[in-house]
Structure formats: C-alpha cells, structure tokens
Structure 1
Amino acid sequence: MTITHFLISLVDDDESVRDSLPELLREMGFDVRAFSSAESFLRSDALHISKCLILDLAMPGMTGPELQQELKRRQIKTPIIFITANQDEAVRRKTVEQGAVECLLKPFTDTALHNALTIALGAE
C-alpha cells in the first residue's frame, strides 16, 4: 500500500510546529494543510477531504479532544493522531480510548510519526 498524496491536516497553535512538521510530512510524500486552531480547520474545505488529522492536545479555544468530539458529533470519521508536550500518561491514554490512533509525546521521532500514520491510513 502506498500512503502518498493523502491530505494530512495539522492543527496546532504552535507556529514552530506548523512550520516544521509539514516539511517532514511532505518529505514522507503527503500533502499537508496546517491550521492554527480547531475553529479554522472546521471552517475549511479540508474538513471533508483530510485523510488524517494531527492535532495538538492543548490549544486555546477548542482543544484537540473537543475537536475530536465535534467531529464525532458531525459523524466525520477521519483518523486522529494527537501530539502533545503533556507528560500525563492518563491524559494520553484517554485520547486513544476515545478513538485516536495514537498520542505522541513531543518531541517524537520521525519513525513514531510514520508508524502512526501507517496505522491511521491502513483502512484506505
């Protein structure tokens, strides 16, 4: 299975993450759109065409888990990979229990991200 040319949407309020992570994802062969907030993602056309979301756990306004719940409410089943600097294992475990593919602790390795994306896109 080739996983290239799928649209990955990144939602993170940290500008440095929005600058660096899309480059890595493009090197892996993905198309990427980056958003500074959950609200801006929800207003975009990427909402219905993204094959995977990479979401920061803690953001001002709507958090990553709140966006996850909003997508469920709208019956949008896009796979989610959370990324976080939060060291709390219980919080990370809860996101996976609620349906996320993975919750990666920043800084994560390229391999960990690639593995999570492979799992997320495995149903394609």
Structure 2
Amino acid sequence: MCSAQIVSIVDDDEAVRLATESLVRSFGRQTRLFASAEEFLQSGSIAETSCLISDVMMPGMSGVAMHDRILELGFLPPTIFITAFPTAELMAKAKANGALAVLEKPVDPDAIAHWLSVALDLP
C-alpha cells in the first residue's frame, strides 16, 4: 500500500464525515476532510486525491455536480458516492461518469473496504 495515497471525504454532515474518516483510517489510509463540494473544489487537493468518497445530497453543490466539475477539470479520481436516497437514475448517471460505486446509507464498512481496495490496490 502506498502511503502517499489520500482519500478525500466530502460530506456536509460532520458526524458522518468523522465516522467515515475513522473507518478509512482504520484501513491504514490517509484522509482529508471537506464539509462541502465547494470547499473540496477550492482546496487544491483534487490532484492529490487517490480516491474520493462523497455524499450526494449536500447544501449548495451536490456530490454528483462536484464530480462533473472534477471531470471538466481533467481529473478522474476513483469515486465512491454515499446517499440515503439511491435511485436508478442516480446510479446510472454516477456509473456513466466513471464512479466506482453508489452506496446506500448507512454504509456497510465492508463495502467501503471493498471499494477502497478496488480503487487503491490496483497494480
């Protein structure tokens, strides 16, 4: 595992953000936390992000709109969306834009572990 790999976590709910960080760190991964899509986009951390975990529904810009903007900027970090409201339309759009997964809240820790492994442990 490369210690330089950074998992950026974007979620407006502080409790979820911190719980996700704790889980990801328990897998030996470095994290950066952001309370909004706008904060992440303005952070300068896009290029350093090895994997992105983002809520879908947030005040202001949604996670999907943020992902679209990241793509427009020429980046394609492996992305895991989490949402309390998974719809077929959301899943289709996210997958069409290259997202790894759309996971329903509450998220199963094993699912996060699996998708982080897919994203970060490729040769």
**Aligned residue-pair number:** 123
State the one-letter code of the partner of 2:11: D
With normalisation by structure 2, the TM-score equals 0.91
Q: How does 1:1-124 map to 2 (within 5 A)?
A: 2=1, 5-123=4-122
**Cα RMSD after superposing both structures:** 1.6
Q: Is the 8 A contact 2:86 2:102 kept in 1?
A: no
| SS of equivalent residue, structure 1 residue 116 | helix
> What is the rounded CA distance, in whole Å, between the counterparts of 2:86 and 2:116 in structure 1?
22
Alpha-carbon offset, residue 123 of structure 1 = 4.1
> What is the rounded CA distance, in whole Å, between the counterparts of 1:113 and 1:95 in structure 2?
17
Distance 1:52 1:46, change over 3 A: same
> What is the rounded CA distance, in whole Å, between the counterparts of 1:100 and 1:24 in structure 2?
20
Runs (5+) with no aligned partner, structure 1: none
**CA offsets per residue over residues 82-112 of structure 1, 9 Å max, x none?**
0000042332233112210001101121111
> What is the rounded CA distance, in whole Å, between the counterparts of 1:69 and 1:115 in structure 2?
24
* Moved segments of 4+, more than 4 Å: none
With normalisation by structure 1, the TM-score equals 0.90
How many percent of aligned residue pairs carry the same amino acid?
36
State the one-letter code of the partner of 2:50: K
State the one-letter code of the partner of 2:25: R
> What is the rounded CA distance, in whole Å, between the counterparts of 2:92 and 2:119 in structure 1?
17
Runs (5+) with no aligned partner, structure 2: none
